[in-house]
Amino acid sequence: MKITDLKCTVIGDNPVVRIVTDEGISGYGEVESYKPYLVPHVLHFKPALLGQDPTNVERVMLRIRQRGGFKPWGSAVSAIEMALWDVAGKAAGLPVYKLLGGKVRDRVRVYNGAVREPMTGYTPADFAENTARMKARPEGFTIVKQAIAFHGPMRTQVPNFFYGEPEQVPLAGTLIRGLLTERGLNHVVACVAAMKEVLGDEVGLALDCGPGWAVPDAIRLARALEPLHPLWLEDLITGDYVPYVSADVYREVTRASTVPIHTGEQIYLRHNFKGLIEGHAVHIVGPDPCDVGGIAELKWVAEYADLHGILIAPHGTGNGLLGLAALVQVCATLPSNFIAFEYPIGKPAWWYDIVRGLPDPIVQDGHIEVWDRPGMGVDFDVEAAAAYLPEADRDFFA
């Protein structure tokens, strides 16, 4: 089997990669919805892929892996990797999890991720009301993640929140940092307490916090929240689009409190997790298969983290329905340090009309049953999907 073409288009909000082969099998991968500008970056790799056997996934990846980088630039490589696994599974007639070593679990736990109820404000009462709606959702999530502080509008909506510039910058992932005022820190703690009052000990509360925290504030927050037992504090120091790790700084925060500290969604390749894992700088890592280099790379990180007593909760909020399928496949194979992965959804909603193979409902009791169809186990309804192709890419499925 040989690769005869590499295509990329944007369907709805997400760039979609297609690997075409000379045996009529195509594999698909998806880039996060926040990165429509990556289409040319994906196509840049086409000369390196043509003529290669896509079922030799690692051999193909060795040709392109070194050309990626921290979020967002690893996404092109990652999407290609997942499309290769899709081809390999279809060619073998096996689900991808079989090619990754087989299932450890028959169902995978997810947390809300891209499923969010709209906020009506940023007071403790607003957070309590929003969290009550999340708890009542039909998916039955056993973990709910909520955004606080620098991860979201709280930094601009709460007066005198921090000693910095509360500007709104029209660019995803813009890093706004600063020392919190006493009022700001007390406000964050009060909002978390209000959410925990709603969730009790029935549903775990994870907190997406930044990045942007100063180290003293991060330590004060973690210590203040110890009696509330949050599942984790995510991306306090770095994360999202920050192109470095700061493992030594995270270690200072991690050693100061018993609250689990989490980061890693922006990191590209296993190599850049070394400092976090070997230095025990965090309690939980959260690589995103759409940024870390793909699903095999994520599995490698999980295995290495497990050797060091570190947990894993993969990121994935913008990965779409093809990304969801990839997360299901790889998380079925991870060791027991796996907690849950961040649940992506199809946006716009018509994505559910153009993808075949997903269960209905997808999430029950906070879990997804692992399916057994070949490849990633989902595919396009080509006729339905073709209606949503950009005019310039009408030949994407040809």
Report the CATH number of the 98-376 domain: 3.20.20.120
- For residue 258, the model assigns a pLDDT of 98
> Do 16 and 378 meet the contact criterion of CB atoms below 8 Å apart?
no
Distances (CA, A) of 39 to 125, 211, 344: 42, 27, 21
User: 282 exposed, middle or buried (CB, 10 Å; 0-12, 13-18, 19+)?
Assistant: buried
Q: Side-chain half-sphere of 238: how many Cα atoms within 13 Å?
A: 22
pLDDT (0 to 100) of residue 164: 87
| Separation between Cα atoms, residue 225 and residue 252, nearest integer Å | 17
Selection from 70, 111, 326 nearest residue 208 by Cα: 111
DSSP 372: -
How much is the pLDDT for 250? Answer: 98
For residue 103, the one-letter residue type is: K
* Residues near 255 by beta carbon (within 8 Å), at least 6 away in sequence: none
At residue 199, φ and ψ (nearest 5 deg) are -80, -25
Predicted TM-score (pTM) of this structure: 0.97
Among 356, 304, 361, 367, smallest CA distance to 331 is for: 367
Does the domain spanning 3-93+381-393 belong to CATH 1.20.1600.10?
no
Q: Alpha-carbon distance 282 to 308, whole Å?
A: 11
| pLDDT of 219 | 98
Sign of CA dihedral 131, 132, 137, 141: positive
Cβ atoms of residues 261 and 284 within 8 Å: yes
Main-chain dihedrals φ then ψ at residue 2, nearest 5 degrees: -130, 150
Question: Token pair 């820190």 is at which residue?
Answer: 185
pLDDT at position 175 is 84
Q: Which residues pair with 15 in a beta bridge?
A: 10
**Domain limits, CATH 3.30.390.10, in the chain:** 3-93+381-393
* Residue type present at position 315: H
What is the chain's Cα-based Rg? Answer: 21
**Strands 26-30 and 14-21, how do they pair?**
antiparallel
The predicted pLDDT at position 67 comes to: 96
Per-residue model confidence (pLDDT) at position 168:
67
pLDDT means per 10 residues, the chain with 398 residues, are 98 97 98 95 98 98 97 97 99 98 98 97 98 98 97 92 80 82 98 98 97 97 98 97 97 98 98 98 98 98 98 98 98 99 97 98 98 98 98 97
- DSSP single-letter state for residue 247: H
Rounded Cα–Cα distance for residues 87 and 78 (Å): 15
Name which of 258, 264, 259, 273 is nearest 238 in CA terms.
264
For residue 361, is the peptide bond before it cis, meaning its omega torsion is within 30 degrees of 0? yes
* 3-state SS class at 179: strand
Looking at the chain, the domain(s) classified CATH 3.20.20.120 span 98-376
